[in-house]
Structure 1
Amino acid sequence: MKRFLTNLSVLLLLVTFSYCQKNGSNGQQYRFNGTMNVDERTRTYLLNLPPHYYDNDSASFALVLGLHGGGGSAAQFEKDYHFTDKANAAGFIALYPDGIQSNGPLGLRTWNAGTCCDAAMEQNVDDVKFIRELIDYTISHYHVNPKKVYVTGMSNGAMMSYRLACELSDKIAAIAPVSGTLVTTKPCTPVRAVPILHIHSILDQKVPYAGGIGLAGYYYPPVDSGLDLWAGKNACSTKQVITDDNRYKLTQWTSCTNNVMMQLYLTKDGGHAWPGSQKVRAKADTPSTVVNANDLIWDFFQRYTLP
């Protein structure tokens, strides 16, 4: 715990960003700060509806969950990565859950992705249950197409997205982890093939692509080991299609079950940051400029629906 707080306080400045509920000119509400009780914990989240949400009562919208990294928050994810801007322009519902806060002086929020991170892992918080119930609640209360639910995440949030793919593949159509890796401790037992888009920088030293000790002194397995596991789960062809244009390398796994595809964008610039965003803090890594994560993620998600 002390190791995590000491290292993360240097690497991350927790962003506090206050949002008010946003109403349209006709009084309809588009933004919600919500709470729900799960396992005697009050869990929080932020929900944003796109501008045309109320135009057609029979319409149903894709739902994309954005999971913050260790020390971040729902509001921080939205603000730093401009994800609601993309959601509003593309017309999907954006849902930002919060991880639990530690009892330490910084109150850092984390997810229990397996072997990481901090209080959520140490207390064995059932974040899978929280996300499952949050998805079900959102589908039942908003115009969500239940076949178009997707998850992306940064760092610890990316790790959590991998765990969700293992345990909630019946609810999630595709995932897009950014700057994270697979750290699950339970057997990965998806009930269906899961499309995966992974984005990472070869220069990332906080969650090293090749694996090793990184952020907060944790050991992170190589990204390739997680992708290889998933290629097996998805019964993909052992022959990969690789494109290298000197700015990034794109690896694609094809001929997977049910026409699922897996993609890896490995950038040669940037670091432990959200590609296409801005550098958010003085000590933060510079984001890659050769790809835009928001565009890649939404383009990838649009290809897939649950069977």
Structure 2
Amino acid sequence: MLVAPLLFSCRKGKPSTKTYRFTETMQVDGLSRKYVLNLPPNYYEQSGFSLVIAMHGGGGSAAQFESTSLLTQKANSAGFIVVYPEGTGVINTWNAGTCCGPAVTNNINDVKFISMLIDKLIASYKINPKKVYATGHSNGGMMSYRLACELSTKIAAIAPNGSTMVVTQPCNPARAVPVLHMHSKLDQHVVYTGGYGNGVSGVYCPPLDSVFNVWSLKNNCTTTKQTIFSNSNYTLTRWLNCTNNVTIDYYLTNDGGHGWPGGLPGGPNSDIPSTSINANDLLWSFFQQYQLP
């Protein structure tokens, strides 16, 4: 995990010590919610930074996802701010709808947490409010979809990985939301063809085709899905001619499993991630195409 040097403050109007990394908490509905924030090396010389919200999978943590996704390294080299919020429970989970675990059982309002976190970070750091994005793995990817449904006025685009959409309320975004989805054919935890899998016990995961059908309707895409690229490593499917020129991009790899493409295994017994694509490169290239109106 990267530990950036301490120089002098990143807070607006506080010319004390400059810091590039923070592990902080905020109170939401009586709960102390944790997050890890990383500022890129050029933070003090520039302004109008993009913010990427990166959410861990069920049972993960902010520190774990930062370490295994390698997203901080990408953020530092590309020059964007990344925040790793943390779920709740003894085994950290997100309330993405029907999944997962204690967050659902306890009806944790994770949408409120992320909304408040966005407001706090925009008020405290040099972030362009039109350039806020969400990504996540597994349960964190599911949470990305819920945010796209409920916080489309704050989040410009999403990039879920190894996940599906499990919202329990009708998805009614206020605007068309660009979607980049990454998945492996070999993922047996969240199976791309739908079902119960072996990673989210008792939770039915809708097939991805149905998820993309929902978003193509929500985004008013008039062109049916098209295969943009396909080889022995992966297939890229895209939905075009959508409102405000947004797209839905779907990368399906033939290698890997339930892991972050181009990253490290999430734990000692986790799948080896795909090497056919690099999630960090793809999501940053995708996010740069979009901002809020």
TM-score (norm 1): 0.89
C-alpha deviations, 1:202-229, integer Å up to 9, x for none?
1100000001112132221111111110
Which amino acid is the alignment partner of residue 147 of structure 1? Answer: K
> Which residue in 1 is equivalent to 2:12?
none
Contact 1:21 1:32 in 2 (8 A): no
1:274-285 map, 5 Å: 274-285=260-271
| TM-aligned CA deviation for residue 239 of structure 1 | 1.9
Of residues 114, 117, 127, the one that matches 2:100 is 117
Give the Cα separation in 2 of the matches to 1:297 and 1:24. 30
Of residues 230, 236, 258, the one that matches 2:215 is 230
Give the Cα separation in 2 of the matches to 1:279 and 1:126. 29
SS, match of residue 200 in structure 2: helix
Give the Cα separation in 2 of the matches to 1:293 and 1:205. 19
Give the Cα separation in 2 of the matches to 1:54 and 1:157. 30
Give the Cα separation in 2 of the matches to 1:249 and 1:20. 36
> Which residue in 2 is equivalent to 1:40?
30
Of residues 27, 48, 51, the one that matches 1:60 is 48
Give the Cα separation in 2 of the matches to 1:54 and 1:269. 40
C-alpha deviations, 1:149-201, integer Å up to 9, x for none?
00000000000000000000000000000000000001101000000000000
Of residues 270, 277, 283, the one that matches 1:291 is 277
SS, match of residue 299 in structure 1: helix
> Which residue in 2 is equivalent to 1:246?
232
Which amino acid is the alignment partner of residue 59 of structure 2? Answer: G
> Which residue in 1 is equivalent to 2:292?
306
Give the Cα separation in 2 of the matches to 1:22 and 1:123. 39
> Which residue in 2 is equivalent to 1:197?
180
Structure 1 residues 74 and 22, CA gap change in structure 2 (3 angstroms): farther
Contact 2:35 2:83 in 1 (8 A): yes
Structure 1 residues 51 and 211, CA gap change in structure 2 (3 angstroms): same
SS, match of residue 169 in structure 2: coil
| TM-aligned CA deviation for residue 233 of structure 1 | 0.1
> Which residue in 1 is equivalent to 2:88?
100
> Which residue in 2 is equivalent to 1:76?
64
Structure 1 residues 36 and 21, CA gap change in structure 2 (3 angstroms): farther
Give the Cα separation in 2 of the matches to 1:195 and 1:20. 32
> Which residue in 1 is equivalent to 2:127?
144
Aligned residues: percent identity?
Answer: 55
Which amino acid is the alignment partner of residue 273 of structure 2? Answer: P
Contact 2:190 2:200 in 1 (8 A): no
> Which residue in 1 is equivalent to 2:145?
162
CA RMSD of aligned residues (A): 1.5
C-alpha deviations, 1:232-259, integer Å up to 9, x for none?
0000124222021121111000000000
1:90 and 2:78 correspond: yes
| TM-aligned CA deviation for residue 278 of structure 1 | 2.5
Contact 1:62 1:145 in 2 (8 A): yes
Give the Cα separation in 1 of the matches to 2:209 and 2:173. 19
Which amino acid is the alignment partner of residue 250 of structure 2? Answer: L
Q: Which runs of 5+ in 1 are unaligned?
A: 1-16, 102-106
Which amino acid is the alignment partner of residue 33 of structure 2? Answer: R
Structure 1 residues 32 and 251, CA gap change in structure 2 (3 angstroms): same
Give the Cα separation in 2 of the matches to 1:216 and 1:299. 30
SS, match of residue 37 in structure 1: strand
Give the Cα separation in 1 of the matches to 2:4 and 2:33. 18
Which amino acid is the alignment partner of residue 68 of structure 2? Answer: D
Give the Cα separation in 2 of the matches to 1:297 and 1:73. 20
Q: Which runs of 5+ in 2 are unaligned?
A: 10-16
1:262 and 2:262 correspond: no
Give the Cα separation in 1 of the matches to 2:257 and 2:284. 21
Give the Cα separation in 2 of the matches to 1:129 and 1:261. 27
Structure 1 residues 259 and 117, CA gap change in structure 2 (3 angstroms): same
1:271 and 2:218 correspond: no
